Amino acid sequence: MREHARLGTETVDGLRGLAILLVLCYHTWLFSWYTPDVRVFGRAVPLDVLARTGYLGVDLFFAISGFVLFFPHAERVFFGGPAQSLGDFAYRRFIKIVPSYLVALLATIPAVLALPRAATATALAGTLVQHLAFVQNFFDDGFGAANSVFWSLAVEAQFYLVFPLLALAFRRAPLVAAALAAATALVYRHATAGCCLEVQTVQRQLPAYLDVFAAGMLAAYAVVWARARPVSLAADRIAATLAAVALVASTFVLLQSANAVQYDPGGRERWDIDHRTLLAFGAAGLIVASCFAYGWWRALVANPLLIFLSIVSYNLYLWHTLVMIALWKHGFPRAATPNPHDDDHWKFAFIALGWTLAIGIATAVTYFFERPLLGTVRPQSFAFDWSGAVRRLGLKRSAPIATPETRT
């Protein structure tokens, strides 16, 4: 985190932790129907809004993805440096996304076979091919019922294919490129609303989310542009902090409007069509403002809990629904009532067990599998040292592993 703190972008890591927390709360609410009832001075704090609209954490993930991918390009615009090759970009994306995804994909197969309409070997093979090609968002399949988060991996991977061209456009004219991407997303969502408002294989496509990715890319450009200014930012920290607080408050109001139409026919989908662009650029503004806010605000956003969740966020995203579905299908823990939702003690037990298992599995996969692989690209502090373990067992002798202080 030292490099991120030096750049002021540690808040982006904190917001990634917040994104996975929102998604986790949303799916927890779907299974348990638990809505928090918090009161301060006798007045209810509407935290249930965050649970019911937590699915919008995926939009925050997409915006952060656009920010992270474009940030090095923005730095080259203002500070120079060699351009990233397509091969290097492809390898970095592959090593970050695919290995952990394959592990989760294989673990989901038993859940797919246990569905009432169990897939035949041929159908299962076809579904696996769709997921390996990252085109599963074009199909309704058993994996979607057994692990409902895989669709977003397809959108993310498809974004990688167009990112080099988008990055070129943003380097030359960021405002124009962001406006065109937002217009494309709005046109696509409105054009498909008439026939396919609630058809997920139409609405969960890359064009529908281009404004979200573009908002993150524009935020990266704005952060680097502000850092390149020759004047001190001390006078701007007050404005940045106030803007960050205001954007959090306005975003919460926006989420309340999304919650208000949750149970209307097509309400959620219509809200997404009209408000996703506003939410995306609000998130982008929050990212920029938080990067330049006072230290206390950055420490609040990038607190240890959210930073840890950020580190394990990808694997936690892949595994949490699979764990909760498994617990629900096997009736574990047992409820004292025929309908578990009527048993408040079951709700707490289910949430505690589900979160513990999901976070535990995500941490293990991240620490022992994902991060060691990412270490082939750059040093990873939160990673098990497999090479060191092999050396300690006396099975192999090799040069000392590079560290952030020794590798240039």
- Tens digit of each residue's pLDDT (9 = 90 or more) over 247-276: 999 999 999 999 999 889 999 999 999 999
**Considering the chain, what percentage of its residues have pLDDT values greater than 70?**
91
Q: How does the average pLDDT of the chain come out, rounded?
A: 89
Neighbour count for residue 356 (Cβ, 10 Å): 11
Each residue's pLDDT, cut to its tens digit, for the chain (408 residues) gives 566 666 678 999 999 999 999 999 999 999 998 887 777 777 777 778 989 999 999 999 999 999 999 999 999 999 988 888 899 999 999 999 999 999 999 999 888 887 765 556 677 888 899 999 999 999 987 787 788 899 999 999 999 999 999 999 999 999 999 999 999 999 999 999 999 999 999 999 999 999 999 999 999 999 999 988 866 555 689 999 999 999 999 999 999 999 999 889 999 999 999 999 999 999 999 999 999 999 999 999 999 999 999 999 999 999 999 999 999 888 889 999 999 988 889 999 999 999 999 999 999 999 999 999 999 888 888 899 888 887 777 765 444 444 433 333
312 CB-contact burial (10 Å; exposed 0-12 / middle 13-18 / buried 19+): buried
Contacts of 232 (CB under 8 A, 6+ apart): none
221 CB-contact burial (10 Å; exposed 0-12 / middle 13-18 / buried 19+): buried
- Report which residue type is found at 210: L
Question: 382 phi and psi, to 5 degrees?
Answer: -90, 70
Q: In terms of residues, how long is the chain?
A: 408
**Cα–Cα distance, 335 to 31 (Å, whole number):** 13
